[in-house]
Amino acid sequence: MTKTLQSNAIRPAGPSETYDINTTDESFAVLKNLFSEYGDFVRVKAKSRRDDSYLINNPEHIKHILLKNYQNYNKGVGFERVKMLLGNGIIVSDGAFWRKQRRMIQPAFSKAMIESQVEMVQQCNLARMEKWMALAEAGSEIDISYEASDLALDIVLRLLFSDDVDTILEQSGENPFAFLTEDPTRDIQVVLKYRSLMSLLLKLIQARRTTTKKYNDFVAVFVDARDKESGEAMTDKELLDEVMTMIVAGHETSAITLTWVWYFIAKYPHIEQTVQDELKKAAINGAPGAADLEKIPYIRQVTEEALRMYPPVWLYSRKAIVEDKIGDYIIPAGADIFISPYYLHRNTDFWDEPEQFKPERFAVQNQKDQHKFSYIPFSAGPRRCIGDHFAMVEMQIHVGLMAQAFRFELVEKNTPELEASINMRAKNPIMLKIIKR
Ligand code: HEM
C-alpha cells in the first residue's frame, strides 16, 4: 500500500469529465480552458490511461519537478512515437542508462567544440545566402518554413558527420533524412526509408571505428567516448540511437524557431530597425564569428522572445515514480505530469502583456526579477536541452548574416494558425517576400 506523505496535502481540483492529454491540437485547446477554469495545478482523470494527469503551470512547482526532485520523475506520455525513431537515445531514456549516456555525450557540446563548429555554420549560411540572393534578384517569395528546415537539417547533419554528409547524399540519390519530419507511425514508406537510413548510418559508424582519418564532429566524439565507470565504449546500436536523437531533437526545433524569428522581424518594422542598428554598431561584415556574438545581444533577445511566444516543444510530460508532495498538493505514484512552456510563458502572474512580442524582456537588466522557471523553452534542470547553447549560436550567426543582406515582408498579414503536434509550428508554410538590401 502507498504511504501518504502528508496528511494536510490537498488533491488539486479538476473537471469531472475524463480526457487523455497528449501532444495534439485538441489537447492544446483543452489545456487553455483547464488552466483558466482551475488555475495552475489541475487534476484530470484520464480516459484510457490508468493514472490521473496533473497539469502544472506555476514556476515554483515546475522547479520542484525539473530540478529539486527530478530523480522522482521519468519521461512520460507521448514519447512512444519518438521511441520508434530514437530507440533508447538520451531524450527518451531514464535513470542510470540516461546518466551514463549524457555523460558520454556532453563533451560534444563543450564550449570549445561548439566554437570549432562556428565555421561550418557560417559556411552553411553563406551557401544559403547565395541561393536566397538569386531568389531576391528574381523578385521571388520564399517559403521560410521550408528554407529554415532545410538549413537546420544541413547544419545538424554536418555537426554529426562533417563532410561524410556529402558521401551519404551522393550514395542515396535523394536526401535520406528528408522523411524525418513525417509521422513514423503513419506510413509504411516512412518505415522503409527509416530502415534503409539506419543501415546506411550503421555502415558509416562502423567505418568510423577503424578509420585513421581525423574528424572533428559529434560522431568522432561519440566513438571515442568511454563510460567513466566501466571504461566501455557505446555499442553500435547505442551510438546509432544517439545520432538519430541529435537529428530529431536538433533539427525541427531549430527550424521552427528560425521561422518565427523571421516572421516577427518581418512583422514589426521597429524590431527590424533595431536589428539593423545593432549590426551597424557591431560593425560585423559577413557571417558573425564566435567573438561577434556578444556584440549582437538584441538578435539573441529576439530569438528568446520568439521561443517564449512559440516554444516548439510546447508540452512535455513526466511520470512520478513514487508519491510526492508539490507545494500543498499530493502527487500519487504513477501520476502523469504535464508542463506546457506555451501556457507557462503566458502566465500573467509572471509575464506582462504576454501576447505582445517584446524582445527587451530578455535584456539583462529586465531579467533580474524574472522567475527562472517561468521561461523554459529548453526545459531546465539535469534534463535541460543539451543543444541549447549550440542552438542560440546557430540562430545568431544565421540572423546576423542574413539581416545584413536581406529584408523580408510578410505575404500573408493574418496571424498564422498553429499546429500543436509533438512540436508546435505554423499550420501552413510562412511565405516572405525577400528583398535585397
Ligand atoms: C531552438 C532549438 C531547440 C529547442 C527549443 C529545444 C528544446 C528542448 C527541450 C524542451 C528539451 C527537453 C524535453 C523534455 O524534457 O521532455 C530538449 C532536450 C534535448 N535536446 Fe533540445 N532543443 C533545441 C535544439 C537542440 C539541438 C540543436 C540539439 C542537438 C544538436 C538538441 C538536442 C537535445 C537532446 C539530446 C535532448 C535530451 C536531453 C536529455 O534528456 O538529457 N536540442 N530540447
Helices (H) and strands (E) in the chain, counts: 16, 12
Q: How far is the CA of 378 from the centre of ligand 1 (A)?
A: 6
Q: How far is CA 84 from CA 77, 184, 317, 376, in A?
A: 14, 7, 18, 26
Q: How far is the CA of 387 from the centre of ligand 1 (A)?
A: 6
In words, the CATH class of domain 25-436 is mainly alpha
Q: Name the nearest CA neighbour of 327 among 21, 70, 59, 2.
A: 59
- DSSP for residue 417: P
Handedness of CA 291, 292, 298, 300 (dihedral sign): negative
Q: How far is the CA of 16 from the centre of ligand 1 (A)?
A: 35
Task: Determine if ligand 1 sits within 6 Å of the CB of residue 92.
Answer: no
- 38-60 pLDDT, tens digit each: 999 999 999 999 999 999 999 99
Supply the pTM of this predicted model: 0.95
Q: How far is the CA of 262 from the centre of ligand 1 (A)?
A: 21
Measured between alpha carbons, how far is 184 from 318 in angstroms, rounded to an integer? 22
Phi, psi of 214 (to 5 degrees): -90, 125
Sequence-ordered list of residues with C-beta below 8 angstroms from that of 312, at least 6 positions apart, any chain? 252, 253, 256, 257, 377, 423, 424, 425
Cell numbers 565555421 label which residue?
119
Cell numbers 561577434 label which residue?
292
Q: How far is the CA of 379 from the centre of ligand 1 (A)?
A: 8
Give the chain's radius of gyration (CA, Å): 22
Which ligand 1 atom is at minimum distance from the Cα of 75?
Answer: 16
pLDDT for 30 beyond 80: yes
Q: Name the nearest CA neighbour of 336 among 17, 19, 99.
A: 19
Range 93-104 average pLDDT:
97
- Pocket test residue of 242, 385, 389, 398 for ligand 1, highest count of atoms within 8 A of CB: 385
Which ligand 1 atom is at minimum distance from the Cα of 307?
Answer: 5
- 167-224 pLDDT, tens digit each: 888 877 777 877 765 554 556 777 777 788 888 889 899 999 999 999 999 999 999 9
pLDDT for 328 beyond 60: yes
Q: What percent of the chain has pLDDT over 90?
A: 85
Task: Determine if ligand 1 sits within 6 Å of the CB of residue 396.
Answer: no
Task: Determine if ligand 1 sits within 6 Å of the CB of residue 423.
Answer: no
Dihedral, CA of residue 393, residue 308, residue 268 and residue 151, to nearest 10: 40
Please name the residue whose Cα sits nearest to atom 41 of ligand 1: 383
Task: Determine if ligand 1 sits within 6 Å of the CB of residue 422.
Answer: no
pLDDT for 3 beyond 50: no
